[in-house]
Structure 1
Amino acid sequence: MNFLDVLRREAELLAMSAIGQPPHKGVPACPGLNLGETVRHVGSGYRRALEWIRLGREPEAGEWQDYPKEGENALDFLRSGAEAVLTELGAHDEDEPCATWWPEQQNHGFWRRRLAHETTVHRTDIQGAAGIEVGAVDDDVAVDGVDEVLTLWLGHKLDVLGVRGSRDSFVAIQVEDHVWLTRCGPHGASAWRVVDPEDAHRADAQVSADPMTMYRWLWGRLPDRMVEVVGDHDAIAQLWALLRLATK
């Protein structure tokens, strides 16, 4: 999968979906978030990623442009940020080293993937806020996005935040032939792909859905009724709550 192509396509879809829309329109999937703030947030995120790469470390507050300049609208801010980050990432091979916030992947490929998914998720937010049909997410993108939210956000970000679950539990996540096993509890959270389907039988519960539905559910954009759940509902509720803390 070419994440640069995904990022380029999704950034343009996001911008096109926001054209002519009042910025105060709320995002149905994220109460408290509106269309204008989402556009600004994505444009700021592109610039923050650029500073990570250029500085070789996490940028401090004030070291990147967080808001449009005076006289610059949010859509121009978004598009110029997308163009800059696409140019920067396109000038380097995926495996070329650079600073990131995930110790396991310190290269430009991390940012290609991370920004592609960031843009895709928020593109669906913008379309929901605009009241237009939420466009499809390609299956290969969605499946990779499921892996990213489980391994990077649940399995890493929660540890960085020092957040723990209250009870030890396993939840299997199934998307067609792909299965992940998540473990949450007082000793931290982790997630990994299941190679032997029999290993998933140790789970206390299982959540199943098609790729795009699971992708959006894990990011908190869809309610439980959109996925199939079996087993211990408290274990699923704990996973859901921890994901909300990891991805907020």
Structure 2
Amino acid sequence: MEITAHIDALRREGTLLADAAARTDLTAAVPTCPEWQLRDLVLHTGRVHRWAAATVRDGLPAPMDAERHQAIWGEEPDDADLVEWFRAGHAALVDTLTAAPADLDCWTFFPAPSPLAFWARRQAHETAVHRIDADAAAGTEGPHADPDFAQDGVDELLGAFAIPARSKVHSERRRTIQISASDGPGRWLVTIGPEPLTVERAERPADLTLTGPARDLYLLLWNRLPAGTGRVATAGDAALLDLWRETAVIG
């Protein structure tokens, strides 16, 4: 996906998140984030937006420290002001990414074609996943991700988040998961073993096969779609999906 497409997705998903929060009691539980109420979700995402915008705007060469985090977040808003506070931070992030130069030089936390490409993509999917959470708190499913964006999100999750040595997704013996989008070219072969997992953009027989629309694979792999809904077809060792759901957690 192009950088502009990621920024457009960020704009759309942030607006949907704010709209869901505006029509829902902020004390509502977030079923997809069991320890959170909706206010926690909105506060978290608003803080992430301010952190990302400051990193890009100021061209920070390294992660900011706790003191600077607090300075850019400011005082925690009251519930009455929380959604508008979120909207302001979201708009500032969209504007910052739109205005950033193509040769932006700043810190990122995994490889990407450029720092600008990294931040646009990461914030688009950060916001989209939490928009799904906000809709869950509101009791609605909300709009589906389009296939290209959903495949891109699966690719980011598998190709960047899941593969570092610190990942908790391990198995005593090597086993494989084949993930295949039924509405696009996305094909990923995930190998899980004692060592860090590996991901190939390939299609081969595997211990577990997951097949479905990209939008549902996106939800399932981000642990936002309960197993057994029938929206993703599974064949093979279902215990591998349980392993993923228990250990593939983004902190």
- TM bucket, shorter chain: 0.7 to 0.9
1:183 alignment counterpart: 191
1:222 alignment partner, one of 215, 218, 225: 225
Q: Tell me the secondary structure at the aligned position of residue 108 of structure 2.
A: coil
Q: Is 1:59 aligned to residue 64 of structure 2?
A: yes
Partner of 1:73, secondary structure, is: helix
The percentage of counterpart residues that share the same residue type is 31
CA shift digits 1:12-32 (9 cap, x unpaired): 111111114211101122212
Please tell me whether residue 239 in structure 1 is matched to residue 244 in structure 2: yes
Unmatched segments (≥5 aa) in structure 2: none
Structure 2 distance, partners of 1:74, 1:212, is: 29
**Shift in CA distance, 162/120, structure 1 to aligned 2, threshold 3 Å:** closer
Q: TM-score, normalised by structure 2?
A: 0.86
Contact 1:182 1:189 in 2 (8 A): yes
1:130 aligned partner, one-letter code: A
Distance 1:187 1:193, change over 3 A: same
For 1:126 and 1:142, how far apart are their aligned partners in 2? Answer: 18
- Secondary structure of the residue that 1:63 maps to in structure 2? helix
The answer on 1:16 being equivalent to 2:19 is yes
Structure 1 window deviating more from structure 2 (23-32 vs 39-48): it is 23-32
Q: Distance in 2 between matches of 1:184 and 1:94?
A: 36
Q: Deviation above 6 Å: which 4+ runs of structure 1?
A: none
Q: Is the 8 A contact 2:169 2:243 kept in 1?
A: no
Would you say the 8 A contact 2:61–2:105 is kept in 1?
A: no
**Structure 1: which 5+ runs fail to align?**
none
**Aligned residues of 2:169 and 2:244 also touching (Cα < 8 A):** no
Q: 2:105 corresponds to which residue? A: 97
> What pairs up with 1:126-141 in 2 under 5 angstroms?
126-141=134-149
Q: In structure 2, what residue type is equivalent to 1:237?
A: D
1:174 corresponding residue in structure 2: 180
Alignment of 1:198-217 (within 5 A): 200-201=204-205, 203-217=206-220
Q: 1:74 to 1:68 in 2, by over 3 A?
A: farther
Deviations 1:20-65 (A, max 9, x none): 4211101122212221111111100011212333222111223123
- 1:33-182 alignment runs, 5 A limit: 33-53=36-56, 54=58, 55-64=60-69, 65-66=72-73, 68-69=75-76, 73-94=81-102, 96-156=104-164, 159=165, 161=166, 163=168, 165-167=170-172, 168-176=174-182, 177-182=185-190
What is the DSSP-based 3-state SS (H/G/I as helix, E as strand, rest coil) of the residue aligned with 2:163? Answer: helix
Determine whether 1:30 maps to 2:33: yes
Please say which of residues 165-174 and 66-75 is displaced more in the overlay: 66-75
